[in-house]
């Protein structure tokens, strides 16, 4: 008789993998608390929700010359919508992950059995939710007082494309956050965000020598895709298919880079 029999039952057995349903629940829970934590912090959420609609009202409605061709109002509406989605997307990405890294929370989560993608998906959903919340007031303002010539369904399509368009900007932010420290991340975020806002030609006319350079900014491509999807053809300067490819490329490149960093360095 083996005397060790008494010990063997205490020995470990391999845990069963999480069932799919439980896994989905994990993703949902993670996203829920991520968003909750973000929205409870007014310093974090308020600028994203207020600034875009405020600048739209000022520069896209009030200060627009009365004799402007009507389709330019549509263009401004689309441009400010891009602003509304890309700002939260970049900053949710970079702040969230940088703070988690700085506070060792990411390290803890990597040690816990959190499914690898849950944190990323949660942050992406948070940024999409905040982006949508930032865009709805612009849509309402545009439809109510913006004198748009777009139909309601065109506006809805535009909004939908914008929300999907959060993804590449989020990955840019996520990549920044995966490299920078918590205190430096917003600065780096601004280094990307501010030039992109102006140089993509979203709402101010650019000097001629800068015009060919708009194509380096993802914001330009999102604007092109959104306008094309909504059937606005006057402002199509770039093949929409190529623009989608650029956005997907940006998302894959920066998302991949960020995940690679986070998975190894934490």
Partner 1 sequence: MSQENRLHALDAARAFALLLGIVLHATMSFFFFMPAQDPSQSTTMAVTFYVIHVFRMSLFFLLAGFFAHMVLHRRGMRAFVKDRAKRILAPMTVGWLLIAPPTIYIVIIGMTKTFGGQAAAAGGAQIPPGFPLTHLWFLYYLCIFYVIALGVRAAFVRFVDPKGTLRARIDGVLRAGLATYAAPLLLAAPLFAVLYKDPAWMMWFGLPTPDIGLTPKLPALAGFGTAFLLGWLLHRQVEVLEVFRRQCFVNLAFAIGLTVFCLSLVGLKPNMMALTTLDGPAWSRAAYAGAYTLSIWYWVFGLTGLALRFFDNPSPARRYVADSSYWLYIMHLPVVFGLQVLLMDLPWHWSLKFPFIVLVTLAILLVSYHYLVRPTFIGGVLNGRKVSRRSKAGRGVTSPAPAAAAQLDPNPIDKKPAVLEKVTKRFDTTVALDGVSLAVEPGEMLAVLGPNGAGKSTAISLWLGLLEPDGGSVRVMGASPLEVTSRLEVGVMMQDVNLAPDLKVREHIAQTASYYANPLSLDEALEFSGTTPLAGKRYGKLSGGQKRQVQFAVAICGRPKLLFLDEPTVGLDVEAREAMWRAIRKLMADGCSIVLTTHYLEEAEALADRVAVLAKGRLIATGSVEEMRSLVTRRRISCRSGVDIDEIRGWPGVVEVLRDGNQVRVTAFDAEGVVRRLFVADSALSHLEVRQASLAEAFTELTKETA
Q: Which of 8, 62, 63, 66 binds partner 1 (CB under 8 A)?
A: 8
Q: Which of residues 36-95 bind partner 1 (CB under 8 A)?
A: 36-37, 40-41
Site string for partner 1, 95-114 (x = CB under 8 A): -------xxxx-xx-xxxxx
Task: From 35-43, 46-54, 194-202, 218-226, give the range in contact with partner 1 by CB under 8 A.
Answer: 35-43
d(CA 17, CA 114): 12
Nearer Cβ to partner 1 (50/265): 265
Decide: is 137 part of the binding site for partner 1 (CB under 8 A): no
Beta carbons of 157 and 229 less than 8 angstroms apart: yes
What number of chain residues touch partner 1 (CB under 8 A)? 41
Decide: is 115 part of the binding site for partner 1 (CB under 8 A): yes
Nearer Cβ to partner 1 (35/81): 35
Decide: is 19 part of the binding site for partner 1 (CB under 8 A): yes
Least CB distance to partner 1 at residue 109 (A): 9
Which residues lie near partner 1 (CB under 8 A)? 4, 7-8, 10-19, 22, 25-26, 29-30, 33, 36-37, 40-41, 102-105, 107-108, 110-116, 212-213, 215-216, 266
């Amino acid at each position: 008789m083996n005397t060790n029999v008494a010990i063997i039952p205490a020995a470990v057995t391999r845990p069963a993998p999480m069932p799919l349903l439980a896994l989905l629940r994990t993703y949902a829970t993670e996203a829920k608390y991520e968003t909750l934590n973000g929205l409870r912090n007014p310093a974090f959420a308020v600028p994203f929700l207020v600034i875009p609609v405020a600048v739209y009202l000022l520069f896209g409605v009030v200060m627009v010359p009365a004799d402007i061709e009507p389709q330019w109002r549509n263009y401004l509406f689309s441009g400010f919508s891009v602003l509304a989605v890309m700002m939260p997307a970049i900053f949710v990405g970079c702040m969230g992950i940088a703070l988690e890294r700085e506070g060792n929370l990411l390290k803890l989560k990597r040690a816990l059995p959190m499914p690898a993608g849950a944190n990323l998906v949660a942050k992406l959903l948070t940024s999409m939710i905040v982006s949508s919340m930032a865009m709805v007031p612009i849509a309402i303002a545009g439809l109510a007082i913006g004198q748009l010539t777009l139909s309601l369904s065109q506006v809805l399509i535009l909004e939908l494309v914008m929300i999907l368009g959060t993804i590449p900007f989020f990955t840019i932010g996520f990549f920044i956050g995966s490299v920078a420290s918590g205190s430096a991340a917003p600065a780096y975020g601004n280094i990307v965000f501010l030039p992109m806002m102006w140089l993509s030609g979203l709402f101010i006319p650019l000097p001629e020598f800068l015009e060919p350079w708009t194509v380096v900014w993802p914001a330009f491509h999102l604007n092109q895709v959104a306008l094309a999807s909504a059937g606005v053809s006057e402002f199509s300067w770039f093949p929409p298919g190529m623009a989608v490819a650029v956005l997907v490329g940006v998302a894959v490149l920066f998302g991949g880079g960020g995940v690679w960093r986070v998975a190894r360095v934490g």
